[in-house]
Amino acid sequence: MIRILALIALAAIVVAPAAQAWTHYGGDQEGTRYVDLDQINTDNVSDLEIAWEYRTGDLAARPEAIHASAFEGTPILNNGNLVFCTPFNEIIALDPGTGIERWRYDAAVAEGLNPANQYVCRGVTPWEDASAADGTRCASRLFMGTVDYRLIAVDALTGEQCEGFGDGGQIQVDPGMTLLWPGEFHFTSPPAVIGDIVIVGSAIGDNARVEAPKGTVRAYNARTGEPVWTFDPIPLVPSDPGAETYGGADGIRAGHANVWSIMAVDEERDLVFLPTSSPSPDFYGGLRPGLNEYSNSVVAVRGSTGEVVWSFQTVHHDIWDFDVSAQPLLTTLTLDGEEVPVVVQNTKMGFVFVLHRETGEPIFPVEERAVPQSAVMGEWLSPTQPFPTIPAPLHPTEALDGSDAWGFTFWDRGACRRRFNALSSEGIYTPPTEEGILMYPFTGGGANWGSAAYDPDTQVMVVGMNRMVHEITLIPADEVVEARNHLDKEVALQRGAPFGMSRDLVMSSFGAPCNRPPWGTLVAVDLSTGEVLWERTRGTTEDLVSFLPAMATGEPALGGPMITAGGLVFEAGTLNYRIRARDMATGRRLWSHRLPAGTPATPMSYEYDGRQYVVIGSGGYGRVGTTMGDSIIAFALPENPRPRREPRYND
């Protein structure tokens, strides 16, 4: 019966209307999040309505586990199907015009794994076997990484596992060491594919221990699953390249620097761009003295061999959890009449590094500037950090004090002021201490995995910025277990280090950030000059504070923006359950629709049977307590146009 249904689905695909594809998680392998469609445009976007909605069934089938998940997936268009993965690693293929399910694959991941980054699957990645004869099973494949660290290949036309890949269609990846708990190591982002090679990074629980799993990047033959190469950002032995930057003469005491976010691919140059994270543990680095080469970096490797071509470090010796969390953006800029291939790297600090794609050299000047040096005994600090001069920082970097506190009322503002005054702040790169610091940007600040979108015609990038404050406090190792038992905040052991840590968002009694708004912005930057063209608040307080009218304070967001040729920016991702469309030229909001659940996802768009659709996943974010759901929703213009109406919005 399964075979019969698969053949029926395949027949439906063969006769399906032509579709213009959003082919990869970020729109394309370069991560531009741009679609060359203009049926929906600034003149008619206010007419958008729901075309169809599909429910995965997770809300009913997994009533407990779903609260440990985040629906961060963005679909792709592949072989006439709209394909996405659920947080629980099911791959689902839908009819792009109706949302009717065509096939479904279940990786059968267990509940109760307690994954460090929740149950998450951001996307799947396609591959075509150019040597296969027409009609060969698994000539078109989809790859997915799972929360129980498997790499899976399925037939893109039927959803059946590709038995010739690995062990019956999957590879069980070895984390390299015994895990503290099953969810310490897992996969969340889509693999990268270059030529006939599929590459996977990993997500690893932060701050559990010093000698933690390594952030090894693994490459496999896309046909057979045979290992091809590995790249270890952390040196394994003192003789490895970069070991001296970890104080490695007596061995390397660090792990991670993993690639948990989305990679970018330049097929023509045989380059894969790896955004690496911080070494372990995040908030104490005295056991890894040195700049910690390859961590917190953009690393360009040969796709065919894994050889490092160049690397550029965005943070030296990170003790702030400032991972390179955004996907590298690949484009070609016209500068002084010359076309220059570049990598644009957005960061948690709000810095934007524009690098030559072939060499890693900065296109615009980057200065090494002195940073604060007061720290706990035994810590090692870099005396300087890299600051790009163009564009200017998209997030404030100045020190905070009580005068920067904010509140809805006199009482909550006063409480925030007292908390600010009780903690130290020397601006960005304030080292953590036992007395506690205000960390701004916070660890989810600036640009996160939602990444940026880019319009190739105007050379304008749009990126979201999160602006909140963390309180970070180091706790002596012999006191950290007791602190975990009585503190109502995150407390991490950092086993093997002389200090554990506590981390807490600095919030008012009303559940709002203590720092001045905006708490979330969307920024447009002309990458040819570095000029900021506009900045808009992103989100309101409608779901944050119920006793006041909605205020345009902005909110932190996870999902990224999408740009269309219709002069529009679409974005969601905030806590107030909305997808929005903005005028690309001004940032003004032109349309908004309330969604059924929290939406930590990036929208996508495609044309199918002559109609343009905008699609967003709306399934919630368990960790922050949003309403949970399991929907994929498609919007389109009505088939019978309505009279034009002028939108009215406050952001």
Sequence-distant (6+) residues with CB within 8 A of 610 are: 17
CA atoms 548, 551, 557, 563: torsion sign = positive
DSSP per residue over 443-462, as a string?
TT-BS-TT-EEEETTTTEEE
Q: Residue 520 and residue 504: Cα distance in Å, rounded?
A: 18
Give the residue numbers marked as catalytic.
321
CA neighbours closer than 13 Å in the CB half-sphere of residue 277 = 32
Q: Residue 624 and residue 67: Cα distance in Å, rounded?
A: 10
Q: Residue 143 and residue 175: Cα distance in Å, rounded?
A: 19
Distances (CA, A) of 270 to 202, 266, 543: 22, 6, 46
Q: Which of 373, 347, 344, 371 lies closest to 527 in space, CA to CA?
A: 344
Q: Give the tokens for residue 395.
A: 């997030």
Which residue carries 């996508």 as its tokens? 604
- Quick one: three-class SS letters along 278-308? CECCCCCCCCCCCCCCCCCEEEEEECCCCCE
Strand-strand pairing, 264-266 and 227-231: unpaired
Which residue carries 């291939």 as its tokens? 341
Query: If you compute the radius of gyration of the chain from its CA atoms, what whole number of angstroms results?
Result: 24
Residue type, position 534, single letter: W
Q: Give the tokens for residue 437.
A: 């610091």
Residue type, position 643, single letter: P
Q: Give the tokens for residue 474.
A: 């180091």
Q: DSSP state, 557?
A: -
Strand-strand pairing, 34-35 and 562-564: parallel
Taking phi over 0 as left and psi of -120 to 50 as alpha, with beta for the rest, 244 belongs to alpha
CA angle 161, 121, 627 (to 5 degrees): 130
Alpha helices in 572-646 (DSSP H): none
Q: Is 586 exposed, middle or buried (0-12, 13-18, 19+ CB in 10 A)?
A: middle
Distances (CA, A) of 165 to 162, 171, 172, 216, 474: 6, 8, 12, 21, 46
Sequence-distant (6+) residues with CB within 8 A of 640 are: none
- Quick one: three-class SS letters along 61-89? HCCCHHHHEECCCCCEEECCEEEEECCCC
CA atoms 636, 642, 645, 650: torsion sign = negative
CB count, 10 Å around CB of 406?
Answer: 18
Q: Is 611 exposed, middle or buried (0-12, 13-18, 19+ CB in 10 A)?
A: middle
CA neighbours closer than 13 Å in the CB half-sphere of residue 279 = 32
Find residue 578's DSSP bridge partners. Answer: 594
CA neighbours closer than 13 Å in the CB half-sphere of residue 190 = 31
Alpha-carbon torsion angle 119, 193, 343, 232, nearest 10: 70
Residue type, position 150, single letter: R
